[in-house]
């Protein structure tokens, strides 16, 4: 007879194993799904997982996708650690892209050395503003952060679409809803020849390290963790909840904004309506898969970037709709949450009869 | 009724229940006759609650038999227990605050029972008069006092014509006068043939009302007795074994200068259904313990939040520390001025359950452990190890998670952490609630030591005996009012009991004069 | 503006508000049991695509609606098992459900984008539809709108006047106490969550079978999220949810109104209106923290594990 038993101490092995188990289960689920729709599961997995890492160009593209995912996920990890349910990374990313692009277009005829830093700062500031408004509304008016940040995602999207149809549209662009291409002064330098890997990935990995440093080495990070783990204890200890909330939200907004401006000044090179294929939402999954730990997020972001690449390849090579990516993300999070159950519980196999 | 006397109402045989890491009930047997008032005694964690939940169908035993009116039964759910005629009054009430009395009672009744009763409100009113319970069916629970809520719980059982009524520490939430009223109801029920299982650890109550007693320790039945043939002291020895170290009286101290005061504090509660504080005045002197008695929910939580700084809505001048107005400072800032605080909830407030003891030390004790914003983890670790040794805290080590400690050990840790900051003022709420005798003794002595070093201690407790043992001056709260402060040797349990019931509210001035005359 | 235009606008507000009404009614029942399901958007999208597919392939609209409701319930069952059985965080699980539903619906519906079907025809209710103004605004709709009226009335009765409603409120206020007196807390919550799923499903079906009527990826455009705000706006009261749904419906068609008044604003800016309106409403409603605490189900979003009752 199999019974579920609560563990006396949470299992530290399962804390690490649970994400890996969840990934494995998601792959099994994927295989079954592909069989069900008449595709070869092995081929599908090859396309989804192996092909993205098969040659240097693809690996480069993988890093290009990893950058924004990681930037957003590090910020979200800190927010979620502090129990601030910021679902607005997508909107903050779009705001960063929009604000940064406006600045890049301002510098379009310039070759000034400050053009790029100022453009990046404009993107960061825009992301922070987009995070600041819901934070203010929560702290001042007690409005639900989840809902306001979601609404701000939609508002940012329509604002961006409006901008590329209107004020930021390329006058020579034959009416396409796109900005002009940015000039060299405002483009992020690439790291290698013949690859699109750009400075953004460096920002991302740095952000992960900074996030880790804050959480585990500083008093502020400790306060953030207490705040998320046990709010009454944080209030009892006298931690300043408003300060901490502002801090994590602005940090997340800045990183998401940086992700956005890095996309437009990096691989894209202009402002287009579909800057983000849902990076801000996927970053939620990345944050969870990385156990809300900034270093964990680095590993999780690699996996998520592979899935993104794989989704693109699967569409091109096998005609599988690209939506499969977000479906897998959802399934992955389901499995992760289910596996986490076994951190505090275990199965016991016993023949002991009751009564 | 007499003819049934030969058949027991309830018989438990070898009930065993294992929880992960804890054998809650170990072969417990017990017999209960009709009309018998039976005490179930034991320390916290002795397995009393698990046992009664087994009887009420909330917990399924791993082993053992339950025999009801001579027939073996398996009680799978509370509704099944109620169908048999078993009613239970919980320690933490199972009432719904946003519903009315009669809606609360309706939820416990089956359709069949409801049809039989017909007009529920009328039945409640009728029973209310019959037993002197004074329960109005149309009132919302949140508008009732704790004592009234308990009467609603009892009413809930009476409506179903109970044959066995289980009460889990019913008197811990009542004023002494309300306890007398409850006992009257219980005696009436007993005369009518209703059996009563009465959980308590207040021994004088047990000797007063119970016919028989079963004593549990560590999940096992260690003894049974007839309470009126015993004294509280002999029963206490059965409960705690040879460990019993009876605390004799401690010497009282005289406070020196006033270091902390609350002046004319009136404030509505932040929480819905909370208590509004009404014109509270209080002064705390260095080198004394000031005890505040009161039944839970009379404004203690609200007062604590204001004194500790978790609630800073009050105007600046209402709270002063060494003649400094601190009403606007939040908890962290007040800590820096030398205040420390031991809250009622240990786990989830006094300590973060999922964090190690080292991290929990840093929770409130950061002075000297932070350099340039960076945490000096190694020194905190060493300091925590010292705390563990000094206060004899049972745990695997400084890396143990707070939730893995027993209540008593966690309380010793929190107490040690707060005292370790050499506070000028210590606010301490229910320090020994749910703590075993050994730990309680250690905590009491730590408090007295701190007092003798010159700190001012504000002690809030529901346990009157503890307050009389420790406090140098006392007061009581009732419905957001604070009674006058008196020296402990100038008052007695009866007077504090009356104050807990609010008798001081309309003639505060008269009382104050009386006290001045005495002093 | 003439009265004819006003009637048209209000008619459209009712129609636009109907999917919001459905999904918010489901969510409020769920929340009253103490469960916050953020998967509304995902369940709604699945309802929309499955409803469309079922109706498209069988030609039977009623079948489409039933299939959508069933699909919504199945989706919510995933949520229920994770949250109730495995004690998963409600916020994270709800988000996962939305992400999953968004992807799965796009995946399943990929081959049907752009197909159209004949939606439910409007049915004017005899006599009632002849009432001046009101008749055209309220009683000249399709059958699903009338179903939403009926559903509102039934839920109003059940929640406020019956023992089922009492049980639901008890579970949402204090699951531990409810468990102690023998109310099957998990069962009540399972049912509430699955009812919420079914209502999200029908709400999606309304979008794909009546409102557009076609399937487009992400066609719900955040309505699942707006419904969550709507529940707060309505202070968890059934009657106010209906009113709120139509007000939100009105906000989403404001561009019609503004165009009617001769304004010309970029449609992309106007498209923000419902979201901006939602934020504003949330700010106004929640600003009274005390009142919200009083009205919200006490245990909303908090985990409950009956095994911890030792």
The residue ranges of every structural domain in chain C are 3-303
In three-state secondary structure terms, B382 is helix
Question: In angstroms, what CA-CA distances link B108 with A348, B75, B103?
Answer: 36, 16, 9
Contacts of C169 in chain B (CB under 8 A): 96, 98-99
What does the H/E/C string look like for chain C?
CCHHHHHHHHHHHHHHHHHHHHHHHHHHHHHHCCCCCCCHHHHHHHHHHHHHHHHHHHCCHHHHHHHHHHHHHHHHHHHHHHHHHCCCCHHHHHHHHHHHHHHHHHHHHHHHCCCECCCCCCCCCCCHHHCCCHHHHHCCCCHHHHHHHHHHHHHHHHHHHCHHHHHHHHHHHCHHHHHHCCCCHHHHHHHHHHHHHHHHHHHHHHHHHHHCCECCCCCCCCHHHHHHHHHHHCCCCHHHHHHHHHHHHHHHCHHHHHHHCCCCCCHHHHCCHHHHHHHHHHHHHHCCHHHHHHHCCCCCCCCCCHHHCC
Residue identified by tokens 């009540």 is: C188
The answer to whether position B248 is within a domain reads: no
User: Which residue of B272, B302, B311, B313 to mutate against C (max C Cβ within 10 Å)?
Assistant: B272
**How many beta carbons lie within 10 A of that of residue A99, not counting itself?**
25
Confirm or reject CATH 1.10.3470.10 for domain A58-308, answering yes or no: yes
Structure tokens at A142: 């007690």
Residue in A closest to B366 by C-alpha: A219
Q: Are residues B164 and B77 in the same domain?
A: yes
Contact map slice: B 76-105 vs C, CB within 8 A: 77-82, 88, 90, 93-99, 103
Tell me the C-alpha distance between B472 and C41, whole Å. 62
For residue B374, give Cα distances in angstroms to A222, B354, B367. Answer: 10, 22, 12
The length of chain C is 310
What are the structure tokens assigned to B113, written together? 């029972």
Nearest to B124 by CA among B155, B79, B93: B155
Chains contacting C (3+ CB pairs below 8 angstroms): A, B
Q: Are B229 and B303 in the same domain?
A: no
Q: Is A6 helix (H, G, I), strand (E, B) or coil?
A: strand
Chain B residues near residue C310 by CB distance under 8 angstroms: 19, 24, 49-50, 53, 59
Contacts of range B190-194, beta carbons closer than 8 Å, 24 or more positions apart:
B190/B35, B190/B36, B190/B37, B191/B35, B192/B35, B193/B1, B193/B4, B193/B34, B193/B35, B193/B163, B194/B34, B194/B35, B194/B162, B194/B163, B194/B164, B194/B165
CA distance A87 to A131: 10
Interchain proximity A233–B363, CB inside 8 Å = yes
CB C166 to CB B103 under 8 A?
yes
For tokens 């046990």, the residue is: A230
Would you say A270 and A264 are in contact if contact means Cβ atoms under 8 Å apart? yes
The tokens for A334 are 């389901």
Candidate from B24, B94, B272 with C-beta closest to C290:
B272
Q: How far is residue B253's CA from residue B336's CA, in Å, rounded to a whole number?
A: 27
Q: Tell me if chain B has a CB within 8 Å of the CB of C164.
A: no
C231 touches C241 (CB < 8 A): yes
Do B202 and B307 belong to one domain?
A: no
Q: How far is the CA of A298 from the CAs of A283, B375, B438, in angstroms? A: 11, 24, 50
Average pLDDT over residues A171-180: 85
Separation in Å, CA of C69 to nearest CA in chain B: 31
CB of A237 within 8 Å of a chain B CB? The answer is: yes
Partner residue facing A354 (CB), from B62, B350, B352: B62
Predicted confidence at residue A117, as pLDDT, reads 94
Judged by average pLDDT, the poorest of A38-47, A120-129, C239-248 is A38-47
Query: Could you tell me if residue B320 is inside a domain?
Result: yes
Co-location of B293 and B430 in the same domain: yes
Same domain, B276 and B324: yes
Integer angstrom CA distances of residue C135 from B507, C129, C138: 66, 4, 6
CA C114 to chain centre: 25
Collapsing DSSP to helix, strand or coil, B431 comes out as coil
pLDDT in tens, A202-238: 999 999 999 999 999 999 999 999 998 898 999 999 9
Note the ipTM here. Answer: 0.89
- Tens of pLDDT along C80-115? 999 999 989 899 999 999 999 999 999 999 888 888
Instruction: Tell me how far apart the alpha carbons of residues A184 and B357 are, in angstroms, rounded to a whole number.
Output: 55
Three-class HEC string of B65-131: EEEECCEEECCCCHHHHHHHCEEEECCCCCCCCCCEHHHHHHHCCCHHHHHHHCCHHHHHHHHHHHH
Domain ranges, ordered by start, for chain A = 1-39+320-355, 58-308
Interface of B with A (CB under 8 A): 20-21, 60, 62-63, 308-310, 330-335, 341, 343, 345, 348-355, 359, 362-364, 366, 370, 373-375, 401, 404
Query: What is the DSSP pairing of strand B473-478 with strand B486-487?
Result: antiparallel
Number of domains making up chain B: 2
Residue C205 has pLDDT above 80, yes or no: yes
State the smallest CA–CA distance between residue C255 and chain A in angstroms: 14
Strand, coil or helix: B142: helix
Percentage helix, strand, coil for chain A under 3-state DSSP, each rounded to 5: 70, 5, 25
State how far residue A212 is from chain C, nearest Cα, in angstroms: 22
Q: Which residue has the tokens 């003649």?
A: B323
Residue A304 pLDDT greater than 50, yes or no: yes
Q: What is the CB neighbour count within 10 angstroms for residue B31?
A: 16
**Interface contact A7, partner B, CB < 8 A:** yes
Q: Helix C185-205 vs helix C163-173: angle between axes, to the nearest 10 degrees?
A: 110
CB C77, CB C46: distance < 8 Å: no
Burial of B516 (0-12, 13-18, 19+ CB in 10 A): exposed
**Which residue from A minimizes the CA distance to C110?**
A321
Domain assignment present for residue B183? The answer is: yes
How far is B343 from B347, CA to CA, in rounded Å? 10
Contacts of B53 in chain C (CB under 8 A): 309-310
Q: Which residue on chain A is closest to C90 by alpha carbon?
A: A337
- Strand B86-89, strand B164-168: pairing: parallel
H-type alpha helices, B202-296:
203-209, 232-240
Cα B149 to Cα B126: distance, rounded to the nearest angstrom: 18
Residue B502 to residue B490: CA distance in whole angstroms = 19
Does residue C166 sit at the B interface (CB-CB below 8 Å)? yes
* Closest by CA position to C297, among listed C177, C174, C178: C174
Residues B289 and B236 in one domain: no
Contact C181 B97 (CB under 8 A): no
Identify whether the C-beta of residue A283 lies closer than 8 Å to the C-beta of residue A149: no
Residue B292 shares a structural domain with residue B366: yes
Q: Alpha-carbon distance A342 to A2, whole Å?
A: 14
Q: Which of B47-61, C54-68, C134-148 has the highest mean pLDDT?
A: C54-68
B23 at C interface, C-beta within 8 A: no
The shortest C-alpha distance from C243 to chain A (Å) reads 20
- Cβ contacts of A351 within 8 Å, gap of 6 or more: A1
Structure tokens at C225: 């999220």
State yes or no: pLDDT of A354 exceeds 80: no
Structural contact between residues B64 and B27, judged by C-beta atoms closer than 8 angstroms? yes
**Residue indicated by tokens 């489409």:** C64
The residues, any chain, with a CB within 8 Å of residue A341's CB and separated by 6 or more, are C86, C87, C88
Give the range of the structural domain holding residue B467, as residue numbers without chain letter. Answer: 258-518
pLDDT tens digits in sequence order for chain B, 519 residues long: 344 457 889 999 999 988 766 788 899 999 999 999 999 988 767 788 889 989 998 888 999 999 999 899 999 888 889 889 999 887 667 889 889 999 999 998 888 888 888 888 999 999 888 888 888 899 998 888 778 888 898 888 888 888 999 998 888 777 777 888 889 889 999 999 999 998 877 777 888 889 999 988 878 898 898 988 887 777 777 776 654 455 667 888 888 899 999 998 888 887 777 788 888 999 999 999 999 998 777 888 889 888 988 887 767 778 888 888 888 888 888 998 999 999 988 888 999 988 999 999 999 998 889 999 999 999 999 999 999 999 888 888 899 889 888 778 899 999 999 999 999 999 999 888 777 777 888 889 999 999 999 999 999 988 888 899 899 999 999 888 999 999 999 998 888 888 888 888 875 444 444 444 444
Residue of C nearest to A333 (CA): C96
Chain A contact set for C92 (CB, 8 A): 288, 333, 337
Between A and C, how many residue pairs show a Cβ–Cβ distance under 8 A? 141
- In C, minimum Cα distance to B102 occurs at C166
The DSSP H or E segment spanning B215 is strand B212-217
Measured between CB atoms, which of A220, A222, A238 is closest to B332? A238
User: And the tokens for B142?
Assistant: 């949140």
C308 touches chain B (CB under 8 A): no
Q: Cα separation of B211 and B42, whole Å?
A: 17
What's the gap in Å between the CA of A221 and the closest CA on chain B?
9
Do B315 and B456 fall within a single domain?
Answer: yes
For B103, nearest residue in chain C (alpha carbons) = C166
Q: Cα(B459)–Cα(B481) distance, rounded to whole angstroms?
A: 17
Fold (topology level) of C3-303: ABC transporter involved in vitamin B12 uptake, BtuC (1.10.3470)
Taking the Cβ of residue C290 and every Cβ of chain B, the question of whether any pair is shorter than 8 Å is answered with: yes
Which 8-state DSSP code applies to residue B61?
-
B249 located within any domain: no
- Chain B residue with the nearest C-alpha to that of A7: B20
- Sequence-separated (6 or more) residues with CB below 8 Å from residue A322: A311, A312, A314, A315
Farthest-apart Cα atoms in chain B, separation: 81
Q: Residue B175 maps to which CATH number?
A: 3.40.50.300
CB count, 10 Å around CB of A321? 19
Chain A neighbors of C225, CB-CB under 8 A? 147, 150-151
Residue B448 lies in a domain: yes
SS3 A170: coil
CA-based nearest distance C192→chain B, Å: 18
Beta strand pairing call for B277-285 and B258-267: antiparallel
| Pairing between β-strand B456-460 and β-strand B425-429 as defined by DSSP bridges | parallel
- State whether A222 and B359 contact (CB < 8 Å): yes
Q: How many CB pairs under 8 A join A and B?
A: 79
Q: Which residues of A touch C276 (CB under 8 A)?
A: 151, 155
CA distance A19 to chain B (A): 20
Cα separation of C55 and A152, whole Å? 35
Give partners of A (≥3 CB pairs < 8 A): B, C
On chain C, the residues whose CB falls within 8 A of the CB of A329 are 99-100, 103
> Residue written as tokens 């081929």?
A43
B345 shares its domain with B209: no
pLDDT band at A1 (very low <50, low <70, confident <90, very high): low
Contact check, Cβ <8 Å, C92/A333: yes
Which pTM does this prediction carry?
A: 0.87
Task: Specify the DSSP class assigned to residue A180.
Answer: P
């Amino acid at each position: 007879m199999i019974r579920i038993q609560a563990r006396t101490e949470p299992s530290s092995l399962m804390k690490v194993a649970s994400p890996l188990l969840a990934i494995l289960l998601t792959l099994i689920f994927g295989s079954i799904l592909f069989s069900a729709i008449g595709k070869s599961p092995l081929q599908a997995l090859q396309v989804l997982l192996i092909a993205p890492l098969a040659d240097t160009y693809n690996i480069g593209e993988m890093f290009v996708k990893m950058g924004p995912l990681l930037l957003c996920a590090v910020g979200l990890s800190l927010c979620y650690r502090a129990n601030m349910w910021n679902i607005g990374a997508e909107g903050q990313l779009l705001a960063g892209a929009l604000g940064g692009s406006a600045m890049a277009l301002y510098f379009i005829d310039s070759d000034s050395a400050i053009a790029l830093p100022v453009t990046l700062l404009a993107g960061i500031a825009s992301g922070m503003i987009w995070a600041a408004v819901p934070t203010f509304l929560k702290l001042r008016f007690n409005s639900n952060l989840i809902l306001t940040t979601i609404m701000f995602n939609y508002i940012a999207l329509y604002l961006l679409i409006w901008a590329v149809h209107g004020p930021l549209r390329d006058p020579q662009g034959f009416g396409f809803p796109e900005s002009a291409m940015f000039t060299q002064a405002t483009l992020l330098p690439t790291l290698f020849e013949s690859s699109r890997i750009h400075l953004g990935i460096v920002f991302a990995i740095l952000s992960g390290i900074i996030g880790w440093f804050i959480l585990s080495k500083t008093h502020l990070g400790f306060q953030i963790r207490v705040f998320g783990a046990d709010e009454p204890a944080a209030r009892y200890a006298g931690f300043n909840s408003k300060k901490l909330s502002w801090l994590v939200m602005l940090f997340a907004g800045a990183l998401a904004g940086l992700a956005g401006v890095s996309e437009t000044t990096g691989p894209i090179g202009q402002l287009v309506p579909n800057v983000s294929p849902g990076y801000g939402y996927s970053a939620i999954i990345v944050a969870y898969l990385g156990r809300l730990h900034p270093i964990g997020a680095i590993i999780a972001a690699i996996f998520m970037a592979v899935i993104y690449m794989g989704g693109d390849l699967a569409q091109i090579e096998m005609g599988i709709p690209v939506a499969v990516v977000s479906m897998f993300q959802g399934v992955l999070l389901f499995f992760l949450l289910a596996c986490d159950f076994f951190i505090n519980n275990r199965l016991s196999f016993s023949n002991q009869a009751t009564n | 009724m007499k003819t049934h006397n030969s058949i027991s109402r309830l018989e438990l045989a070898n009930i065993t229940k294992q929880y992960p890491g804890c054998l809650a009930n170990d072969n417990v047997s017990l017999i209960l006759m009709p009309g018998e008032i039976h005490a179930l005694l034991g320390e916290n964690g002795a397995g009393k609650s698990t046992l009664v939940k087994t009887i009420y169908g909330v917990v399924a035993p791993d082993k053992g038999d339950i025999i009801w009116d001579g027939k073996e039964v398996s009680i799978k759910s509370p509704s099944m227990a109620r169908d048999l005629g078993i009613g239970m009054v919980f320690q933490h009430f199972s009432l719904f605050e946003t519903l009315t009395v009669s809606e609360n009672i309706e939820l416990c009744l089956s359709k069949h029972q409801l049809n039989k009763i017909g007009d529920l409100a009328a039945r409640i009113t009728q029973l209310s008069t019959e037993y002197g319970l004074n329960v109005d069916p149309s009132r919302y629970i949140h508008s009732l006092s704790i004592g009234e809520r308990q009467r609603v719980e009892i009413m809930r059982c009476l409506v179903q014509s109970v044959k066995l009524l289980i009460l889990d520490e019913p008197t811990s939430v009542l004023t002494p006068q309300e306890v007398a009223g409850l006992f009257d109801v219980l005696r009436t029920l007993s005369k009518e043939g209703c059996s009563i299982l009465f959980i308590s650890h207040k021994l004088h109550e047990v000797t007063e009302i119970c016919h028989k007693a079963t004593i549990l320790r560590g999940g096992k039945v260690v003894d049974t007795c007839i309470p009126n043939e015993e004294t509280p002291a002999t029963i206490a020895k059965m409960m705690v074994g040879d460990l019993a170290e009876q605390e004799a009286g401690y010497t009282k101290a005289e406070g020196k200068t006033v270091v902390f005061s609350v002046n004319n504090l009136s404030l509505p509660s932040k929480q819905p259904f909370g208590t509004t504080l009404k014109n509270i005045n209080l002064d705390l002197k260095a080198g004394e313990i000031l005890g505040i008695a009161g039944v839970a929910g009379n404004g203690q939580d609200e007062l604590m939040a204001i004194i500790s700084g978790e609630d800073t809505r009050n105007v600046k001048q209402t709270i002063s520390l060494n003649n400094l107005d601190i009403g606007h400072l939040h908890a962290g800032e007040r800590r820096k001025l030398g205040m420390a605080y031991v809250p009622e909830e240990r786990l989830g407030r006094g300590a973060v359950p999922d964090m190690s003891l080292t991290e929990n030390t840093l929770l409130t004790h950061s002075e000297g452990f932070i350099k340039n914003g960076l945490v000096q983890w190694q020194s905190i670790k060493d300091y925590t190890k010292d705390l563990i040794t000094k206060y004899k805290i049972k745990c695997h080590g400084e890396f143990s998670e707070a939730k893995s400690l027993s209540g008593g050990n966690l309380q010793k840790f929190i107490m040690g952490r707060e005292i370790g900051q050499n506070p000028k003022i210590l606010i301490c709420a229910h320090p020994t609630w749910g703590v075993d005798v050994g730990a309680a003794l250690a905590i009491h002595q730590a408090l007295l030591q701190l007092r003798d070093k010159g700190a001012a201690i504000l002690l809030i407790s529901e346990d009157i005996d503890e307050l009389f043992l420790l406090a140098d001056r006392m007061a009581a709260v009732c419905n957001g009012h604070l009674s006058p402060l008196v020296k402990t040797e100038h008052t007695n349990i009866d007077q504090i009991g009356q104050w807990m019931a609010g008798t001081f509210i309309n003639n505060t001035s008269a009382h104050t004069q009386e006290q001045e005359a005495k002093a | 503006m003439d009265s004819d235009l006003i009637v048209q606008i209000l008619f459209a507000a009712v129609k636009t508000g109907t999917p919001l009404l459905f999904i918010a009614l489901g969510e409020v029942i769920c929340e009253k049991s103490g469960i916050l399901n953020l998967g509304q958007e995902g369940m709604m999208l699945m309802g929309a695509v499955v409803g469309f597919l079922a109706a498209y392939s069988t030609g039977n609209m009623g079948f489409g609606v039933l299939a959508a409701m069933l699909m919504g319930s199945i989706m919510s069952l995933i949520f229920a098992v994770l949250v109730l059985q495995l004690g998963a965080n409600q916020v994270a699980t709800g988000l996962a459900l939305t992400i999953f539903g968004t992807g799965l619906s796009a995946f399943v519906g990929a081959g049907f984008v752009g197909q159209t079907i004949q939606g439910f025809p409007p049915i004017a209710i005899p006599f009632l539809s002849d009432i001046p103004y009101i008749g055209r605004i309220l009683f000249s709709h399709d059958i699903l709108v009338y179903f939403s009226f009926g559903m509102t009335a039934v839920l109003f009765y059940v929640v406020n006047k019956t023992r089922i409603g009492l049980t639901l409120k008890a579970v949402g206020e204090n699951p531990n106490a409810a468990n102690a007196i023998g109310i099957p807390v998990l069962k009540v919550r399972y049912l509430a969550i699955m009812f919420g799923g079914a209502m999200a499903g029908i709400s999606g079906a309304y979008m794909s079978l009546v409102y557009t009527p076609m399937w487009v990826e992400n066609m719900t455009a955040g309505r699942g999220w707006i419904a969550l705000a709507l529940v707060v706006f309505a202070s968890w009261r059934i009657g106010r949810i209906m009113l709120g749904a139509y007000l939100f419906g009105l906000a989403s068609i404001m561009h019609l109104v503004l165009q009617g008044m001769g304004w010309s604003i970029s449609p992309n800016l106007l498209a923000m209106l419902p979201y901006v309106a939602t934020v504003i409403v949330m700010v106004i409603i929640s600003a009274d923290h005390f009142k919200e605490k009083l009205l919200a189900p006490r245990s909303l979003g908090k985990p409950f594990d009956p095994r911890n009752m030792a």
